[in-house]
Structure 1
Amino acid sequence: MRTALVIGTGLIGTSAAQALASRGVHVHLADHDPAQARTAAALGAGTDEAPEGPVDLCVVAVPPAHVATTLADAMRRGVARGYLDVASVKGGPRRELEALGLDLSPYIGTHPMSGRERSGPLAATADLFEGRPWVLTPTRDTDTEVLNLALELVALCRAVPVVMDADAHDRAVALVSHMPHLVSSMVAARLEHAEESAVRLCGQGIRDVTRIAGSDPRMWIDILSANPGPVADLLSAVSADLDETVSALRSLQSSDEAKRGEGTTGIQEVLRRGNAGQVRVPGKHGAAPAAYDTVAVLISDQPGELARIFADAGAAGVNVEDVRIEHATGQQAGFVQLLVQPAAAPKLTAALRDRGWAMRQ
């Protein structure tokens, strides 16, 4: 791949363009808002000048509702040898393209499983996709050359290709992305009118649960409008679980011992099922989640403190597998949780204590 055209210079389009440009591909940028394309160009994502002739690959990075019309226009103009989109749903746009009677051999639907709470070109980064799954949904009609171009794109963005059926993909993202986003938003909505004294007690748990609720509502309306059925089915199942959990909690209020026992059993069951589901979430490098030990260190809110603690861990010969930061409410300090292999935890604890760090037991 030597040339590419990216149509849509939001977070995903600009990030992909930056990754391609940084690896020697000449990237052209287009957007319904020319100012946004100019911003992306200024960030090193390519040029906002139109290509003089057909490019190797056209990447359509627009909301799901506009994918089919944007692709159809690009294909009719013959702007590229191959075409793909990066929308978060795959079945609907393809059926819309089929209804338009287009030859879909030069097209493949794709979806990079990566994003951020922020949107727009200013939120883009060339390493957004590194190590992340990038779903490809080829059909029997997909030209081999186009599949190879898509695989090259994934490789240049340093993502991991995953081949799926389009409708299976849509059911999967409803489960792991779309439904969780709505649930996160529902939990966060409880905070909107909560007492300030309650909100001040927010800890890492509520931050984890509500983090994705900070995303752009307009973007999510586009996404959910393109995949409403599977998301509604999942929320219906969650609703049934909620009803059973509410009933179990009410039973715990009963003066009847047998009723309280039923409530305890009900709560235990939902927590057990939660444990069973959580351990299936892939861990580092997509492998089965590992059981890491946590080394918690008190850290002040000063420049260079995180860099210093990582340097000290490296000097101790310990690889930090993951890291979490727990902020202390109302204080210029917090705890850094360093997740390490169990055998390395005592060594790291001793080394950091020797270097003057305050440890939390």
Structure 2
Amino acid sequence: MAPRGIPEPVLIRGTGLLGASIGLGLRAAGAEVLLHDPSPSAQAVAVDIGAGHPWEENCPQPGTVVVASPPDVTGQVVIDALQRFPDAVVLDIASVKVAIAAEVQAAVENGALSPAQSARYVGTHPMAGRERSGPVAARGQLFTAAPWVVCAAEGAEDRAVVAAEEIARTLGATVHRMDAADHDASVALISHLPQIAASLVSSRLQETPASALALAGNGLRDTTRIAASDPQLWVQILAANAEEIRRILYGVREDLDRLITTMEDPTAPGARLDIAQLMAEGNAGHARIPGKHGAPPQAFAVVTVIVDDTPGQISAVLHDVGEAGVNVEDLRMDHSAGHEVGMLEISVLPGRRQELTDALTAQGWKVV
């Protein structure tokens, strides 16, 4: 049986990565989940992986409807669900909230929905995903420790808000309440702008010689990782949040124009200072990103260990780190160009760096 506060059965409309992942997570928690998708093949895959059972017209009326449709049709599907299922709580998980709320309000104003019907709707946004898309990439743990924003409009039913928050908590997410406009402004900066930046940098690589790309390290990989995201999805997201994104891009353009002007004469008086100031402004912004578990940012020391590119090497290093009694604060892997070795970068508290270096060296590891 599902956790209290989630009316059952739960109908998920849309069986892509997020919809199928929600189905997997809710079923693991004991909820009855039904699935519906306009694509029979996507729905069949989601059913096959265990995300739920197919929804049919003769199925029991859902207690909760989770709309996981593409952003450009989410508003229409929300309105349809409010009309079709008179007792159901209806949530959506699209990454923009103002436009969908406006569609629901417009439906009230033109008489397609009553105020009582619209009160059963709550907009939400789980801040989780992967570069891969579709139900084949789904996993029930996708939302663990991820922010899940709940944007309840004034007048929303308490049971609808409770259901939205309970689903998020059941899936392991952390609930954040925000106004829809504040949400859209926030994600424009912390989610949409990074996607744009990654895509713009990656587009410069299209004609890059292979000899240059062979020099690529983690800096390029980290910067461009999310550029592998689904273009069709991002067309919808960026179009729906264009106003907020445009405001931020104006500021980015000012910074770029400033840098370009400086680089046109980098030896002019004050040019080097301007470059340094621009980099320092980046340092200051980066320092504001929360650290582990949402705690204040903290600088860690890095211990870099050379490992062979063979099975078991990383687990062996981590075993020896554990034996040394040092907690791993962060972990990343870089690969050496032209050599079948990797550089395992282990972040630890600064006061434990030398202790860990000595312990791993004593175990025969090559510490850089």
Is the shorter-chain TM-score for this pair beyond 0.5, marking a shared fold? Answer: yes
Alignment of 1:200-279 (within 5 A): 200-252=214-266, 254=267, 259=268, 261-279=269-287
Identify the match of residue 106 of structure 2 among 99, 102, 108.
99
- More deviation in 78-87 or 7-16? 78-87
Unpaired runs of at least 5, structure 2: 1-5
Aligned to 2:325: 317
Aligned to 1:351: 359
Q: State the distance in 1 between where 2:86 and 2:359 align.
A: 59
The answer to whether the 8 A contact 1:250-1:263 is kept is no
State the AA in 1 paired with 2:102: R
Aligned to 2:53: 47
Identify the match of residue 81 of structure 1 among 76, 88, 100.
88
Instruction: Calculate percent identity across the aligned residue pairs.
Output: 38
Aligned to 2:25: 19
TM-score, with structure 2 as normaliser: 0.93
1:57 aligns with 2:64: yes
Q: State the distance in 1 between where 2:138 and 2:314 align.
A: 24
Q: State the distance in 2 between where 1:355 and 1:345 align.
A: 16
- More deviation in 109-118 or 330-339? 330-339
The answer to whether the 8 A contact 2:11-2:55 is kept is no
The answer to whether the 8 A contact 1:136-1:164 is kept is yes
**SS at 2:149 equivalent:** strand
The answer to whether the 8 A contact 1:58-1:79 is kept is no
The answer to whether the 8 A contact 1:105-1:142 is kept is yes
**SS at 2:145 equivalent:** coil
Aligned to 2:299: 291
The answer to whether the 8 A contact 2:82-2:118 is kept is no
**SS at 2:66 equivalent:** strand
- Give deviations 1:18-52, integer Å, cap 9, x for gaps: 11111101111111112111111221211124372
Aligned to 2:349: 341
Shift of 1:80: 5.4
- Give deviations 1:54-91, integer Å, cap 9, x for gaps: 22211101111111111111121117520100000000
Aligned CA distance change for structure 1 residues 92 and 330 (closer, same or farther; 3 Å): same
- More deviation in 87-96 or 61-70? 61-70
Alignment of 1:40-189 (within 5 A): 40-50=46-56, 52-78=59-85, 81-101=88-108, 102=113, 103-189=117-203
The answer to whether the 8 A contact 1:251-1:262 is kept is no
Aligned to 1:192: 206
Aligned to 2:11: 5
TM-score, with structure 1 as normaliser: 0.95
Q: State the distance in 1 between where 2:123 and 2:53 align.
A: 25
Unpaired runs of at least 5, structure 1: none
**SS at 2:317 equivalent:** helix
Aligned CA distance change for structure 1 residues 80 and 116 (closer, same or farther; 3 Å): farther
The answer to whether the 8 A contact 1:40-1:46 is kept is yes
**SS at 1:338 equivalent:** strand
State the AA in 1 paired with 2:37: D
Q: State the distance in 2 between where 1:65 and 1:28 align.
A: 23
